[in-house]
Amino acid sequence: MTLPPVAGQWGRPLPSQRPRAAPTAPAAMGDWPLQMGPADAMAAIDEHAVHALDRAPAEVRLAWQTRQLHRLLQFVRDTSALWREALPPDALRARADDLSALPIIGRAALRERIEQGGALPTPPSHGRAMFGSTSGSTGMPLRFHATELAQRLTQNQYWADHARQGRDMWRRWAVVGPQVAAHPGHPHADIPANPWRQAGPGLHRNTEGLPIADTASWITRMAPAYLFIYPTLLTSMLDAWESGLPAPAGLEQVTTFSTTVEPALRERTRRVLGASIRDRYSCEELGPLAMQCPHDETRYHVSVSNVIIEVVDDSGAACAPGETGRVLVTGLHHWASPVIRYDIGDVAALHPTCSCGAALPSISQLLGRRRSLIRTAAGEARFVRLTTLDWLDIAPVREFRLIQQDLQSLRLELVVAEPLTASQHAALQALLARRIDPALRYDIVELGAIDWPPGRKRQDVVGLG
């Protein structure tokens, strides 16, 4: 059996993720994991290893992470002049719980290193390296390389999360969105059952160019127990169901990925669908970074078998447990385009364990992209969390974007169903002054459409960077 494609974080399916014909099994192969084609056997072992490291005592996990880190550091020093120059001579002093011997790298520097260095010559056991790319909407697109091993582990990390979240994948599941492979002439693609992955048949629906109401009705008709969907698309579906279309029955979990999930979306999903959101924190360069705790929706379990996550302050020193700071990520399996102490641009708090009792690090207060920080007139960085719901109390706002122009002023772009009245205008000014800073000037502009950059991620609060 082939691996069913998974709702991954890759912009497009890389060659090895595209559905392939099942390898022709020699007649001698029986129907038992270690006699099957290698994909299912490797998947079973990968998933086992993910859970084993999740449950291992901290010292065992840290020792494994440190060994992986040292292999990676040795490899980049041996194969890349750029990394050799960047790393200090005592780089191997770094341990999984203390990476301070290594330099922090930002997005621009990482891009330069990847572009200049190309794919590093990875060992044969990592398979071929292929191009992936992050979405261009971040304003700084990044093309990077990922090996077949890195891609396989990314997919199998996501599969391992089904057991973590208590999903019975023999029940109906559906992946919906523009990232799903097209299925011309069919309302969806049927993904075959795979007993070795403990998964029954799934449904994939590509939503590109389809009216929202069609997909909302399709979900209701299919009535999956588990739905995998981008938060922005989920919001559109909820709009459709709340405006009169029958909502699906029997949905238990909605798995989201890619953009920050606001508490309001969790509440709305519970209210309209009776389902809980199970969010994934990931990045395109490394795949899963942390998965929502199955018992506490404010916490995410760090994907310890894939990455090391640190949270540091502006000076680069580790934050105290529970204190918010900049998220740094280090990928343990991604050798073709190594990511080591990369400042991904997000802010969160790190805890040594989880509130549910799990003995592995967790993160909370995942506040999204740091580039969404607004500077107050006094120069202080401030998170601005305004959603459409905040505006709707005041005016029929359909879309918004808040852009800081300089240290004195912000531009609020709005798409509104009806032109703003003077009192709505004043109420919006008051909201901004209250939520951001009364000392800043706010230029409110009504537009027919917001000029969003291409790509699926929409950044609705744009700081000075």
Q: Which spans of this chain sit near Zn ion (rule: CB under 5 A)?
A: 293, 354, 356, 358
Of residues 44 and 293, the one with the C-beta less far from Zn ion: 293
Pairwise CA distance, residues 446 & 86, whole Å: 47
Of residues 269 and 362, the one with the C-beta less far from Zn ion: 362
Of residues 164 and 425, the one with the C-beta less far from Zn ion: 164
Of residues 240 and 302, the one with the C-beta less far from Zn ion: 302
Of residues 164 and 441, the one with the C-beta less far from Zn ion: 164
Pairwise CA distance, residues 158 & 306, whole Å: 11
Q: Are 369 and 140 in contact (CB under 8 A)?
A: no
Alpha-carbon 271 to chain mean position:
24
Pairwise CA distance, residues 432 & 69, whole Å: 45
Of residues 293 and 311, the one with the C-beta less far from Zn ion: 293
Least Å distance between CB 125 and Zn ion? 33
Helix (H) or strand (E) holding 78: helix 58-79
Least Å distance between CB 253 and Zn ion? 16
Question: Would you mind telling me the total number of residues written for the chain in this entry?
Answer: 465
Pairwise CA distance, residues 368 & 411, whole Å: 21
Alpha-carbon 176 to chain mean position:
16
Least Å distance between CB 358 and Zn ion? 4
Of residues 68 and 303, the one with the C-beta less far from Zn ion: 303
| Type of residue numbered 169 | M
| Type of residue numbered 95 | R
327-352 in b/e form (b: 16+ CB < 10 A) is: bbbbbbbbbbbbbbbbbbbbbbbbbe
Least Å distance between CB 355 and Zn ion? 6
Alpha-carbon 379 to chain mean position:
30
Pairwise CA distance, residues 31 & 439, whole Å: 70
What is the phi/psi pair of residue 194, to 5°? -145, 100
Give the number of other CB atoms < 10 A from CB of residue 247. Answer: 17
Pairwise CA distance, residues 264 & 297, whole Å: 13
Least Å distance between CB 58 and Zn ion? 15
Of residues 148 and 279, the one with the C-beta less far from Zn ion: 279
Least Å distance between CB 367 and Zn ion? 19
Residue with tokens 């992946």: 175
Least Å distance between CB 300 and Zn ion? 8
Least Å distance between CB 303 and Zn ion? 13
Of residues 356 and 464, the one with the C-beta less far from Zn ion: 356
What is the phi/psi pair of residue 388, to 5°? -55, -35
Helix (H) or strand (E) holding 362: strand 362-369
What is the phi/psi pair of residue 341, to 5°? 55, 50
Least Å distance between CB 412 and Zn ion? 38
